[in-house]
Structure 1
Amino acid sequence: MTANHFPQAHTSDNELLEPMQAATHAVARFLNGAVVQTPAATTWGDFAQRFDALDKPAADLLREHLSPLRPQAAWGEEMETELPASGEVWVVDALDGAVQFLQDMPYWSISVTLVRDRRPVATVLHSPLRAETYTAAAGHGAHRNGRPIQPSLKTDLKISLLGTSQPPTIAAEPEAIAGAGRSLSAVLPFAGAVRNLGPTSWQIADTAAGRIDAFWEYGVDDSNLLGAALVAAEAGALVTDLACRPWQAGASSFLAAPAQLHDQLLKILNTSATP
């Protein structure tokens, strides 16, 4: 994937949020009208066919709405995004949580992020079934349905709800598989509960809003993490890798947490890093 440089005169990142929301709402109308086939697919071919029948027209709708906003931006799609060193790219997932959607479960959403020079600058995450939308633009804070959000105020891991997940390509990352297993074993004795509640991006946005107290993941997962990382950072959470470096695209680990929980989790996760 290549990207062209964006023009100097353009709508600001914050002003893009409204038409980005309109794009996700158009996709929501399409997906809300879709009939989930039952029983669930029993072969990969059947699953892929059902997924493509929904994802392709939904992605086309996003392209139709977003391309005029940044005509020079490249187009990235989930699991195929290779970010260029410079320029703008739309990183989108028209059906984030497709596995759940096709199982007739409610844990899915729509994700749209504008990335510039490998950094997210504007993002919209929309959950049609919850009628909720997370938005963030660099330097303008993070919001849910137009209201500012902030991370959890908890200080005690024993009463904390933590989230974790895995990248869709984790089978190709044996170190991430091992890290995920070790970290879960390390965290469980200290946490109130650990859950995987659907799309990675939405779980991190819920962490930004204090519904989930912290979230971690092993593996490279740029397409799911870019927009969510912006929401979390703009809400005031610490967003790092597990070496406590600011998270950036290409990192092999991720942690989003309020400051008072971040250090506690980082120590536990790093203790688990050595087999």
Structure 2
Amino acid sequence: MRASDTIDHAALVLQLADVVREAGAGALQRTRRPIRSWFKTEGDGSPVSEIDLAVDRLLKERLGALLPGCGWLSEETEDDPARLACERLWVVDPIDGTRGLLAGKPDWTVSVALVERGRPVVAALFAPVSDEMFLAVAGRGATRNGTPISVTRGPASGAADAPEMLAGARVAGPQRLLERLAATVPGLLPQPKVHSLALRLARVAEGRIDVALASRHAHDWDLAAADLLVHEASGTLTTVSGEAIRYNRPVPTHEALVAADPARHRVVSEIVATLTRAAR
């Protein structure tokens, strides 16, 4: 199948799941022996390991065979501006949550999405330690291990003020922002850190977390698969100002983000925007 061909997304997601599971299983096996790692010299100086690079190589080979000629954007591959001319491209985070992996935590994932004309249309997110496979196809819903998933529902829009809307809401995100948000809206339930941003957002899609926040500068590869999962689970993921995320831009980074059901999303976005302005 060439990248220019008409694609059966429903069939492709099953093939993608097999590839991502293979990659995740191989990564998990490698964690059972000492892992060589170092800090990147560019960007934010985040850690990278031999596992990240091995998974990146495997995914590039396998996904290249699935869609020859498809564009490629991965955290662990040097960016090629030629991707900007591609109608379709794979957006890949070989290991999302490398810090967690290196610390022996379970909350790291392999994240892959197929993006067409700026939006994800097929997604697979695999958490090998907990054996969780999240899949989504645009217009066909999202699943976790084959079971359909959906975001939790807050009160109907306009039916409650912010404290009532968010009372008891489970919220995950950057620690400092969580503290400020909890101080503003009593009754929030801050959640433990999730090292994989993609998994944090997927927890919203499956209803385990009600609201997830992301700081500025998240990359395409952190978001694309989880973005489709959230939307196909009847949720909303946008910037704090309400803008939809567009992928495969020259600079693949984004503003601060909020993911939740539509009602809570509106309320939290307004509060976070106010807190952000006050902090400037």
Q: TM-score range by the shorter chain?
A: 0.7 to 0.9
Match of 1:257 in 2: 260
Equivalent AA in structure 1 for residue 51 of structure 2: L
Match of 2:14 in 1: 18
Pair 216,71 (structure 1): closer, same or farther in 2 beyond 3 Å: same
The Cα shift of 1:185 comes to: 4.3
SS in 2 for 1:150: coil
Q: CA offsets, 1:48-95, max 9 Å, x none?
A: 9x9442222222221222112110112211176666264111111222
Q: CA offsets, 1:116-149, max 9 Å, x none?
A: 1221111100111111111111111111111111
Give the Cα–Cα distance (whole angstroms) in 2 for the partners of residues 265 and 29 of structure 1. Answer: 37
Which stretch shifts more, 192-201 or 144-153?
Answer: 192-201
Is the 2:171–2:178 Cα contact (8 Å) retained in structure 1? no
2:239 corresponds to 1:241: yes
Match of 1:58 in 2: 55
Q: TM-score when scaled to structure 2?
A: 0.80
Q: TM-score when scaled to structure 1?
A: 0.82
Aligned partner (choices 58, 65, 70) of residue 68 of structure 1:
65
Pair 196,52 (structure 1): closer, same or farther in 2 beyond 3 Å: closer
2:206 corresponds to 1:209: yes
Match of 1:116 in 2: 116
Give the Cα–Cα distance (whole angstroms) in 2 for the partners of residues 106 and 117 of structure 1. Answer: 34
Q: How does 1:91-240 map to 2 (within 5 A)?
A: 91-155=91-155, 156-165=165-174, 181=176, 183-189=177-183, 190=185, 191-221=188-218, 222-240=220-238
SS in 2 for 1:121: strand
Q: CA offsets, 1:3-34, max 9 Å, x none?
A: xx931x34312211111111111112212221
The Cα shift of 1:44 comes to: 3.8
Pair 86,11 (structure 1): closer, same or farther in 2 beyond 3 Å: closer
Q: How does 1:19-34 map to 2 (within 5 A)?
A: 19-34=15-30
Equivalent AA in structure 2 for residue 121 of structure 1: V
Pair 18,215 (structure 1): closer, same or farther in 2 beyond 3 Å: same
Give the Cα–Cα distance (whole angstroms) in 2 for the partners of residues 40 and 11 of structure 1. Answer: 39
Aligned partner (choices 268, 272, 275) of residue 271 of structure 2:
268
SS in 1 for 2:69: coil
SS in 2 for 1:273: helix
Aligned length: 251
Match of 2:250 in 1: none
Q: CA offsets, 1:155-198, max 9 Å, x none?
A: 44231111114xxxxxxxxxxxxxx85x4443122222144212
Match of 1:170 in 2: none
Is the 1:92–1:111 Cα contact (8 Å) retained in structure 2? yes
**Gap runs ≥5 in structure 2:** 156-164, 248-252
Give the Cα–Cα distance (whole angstroms) in 1 for the partners of residues 85 and 71 of structure 2. Answer: 12
SS in 2 for 1:236: coil
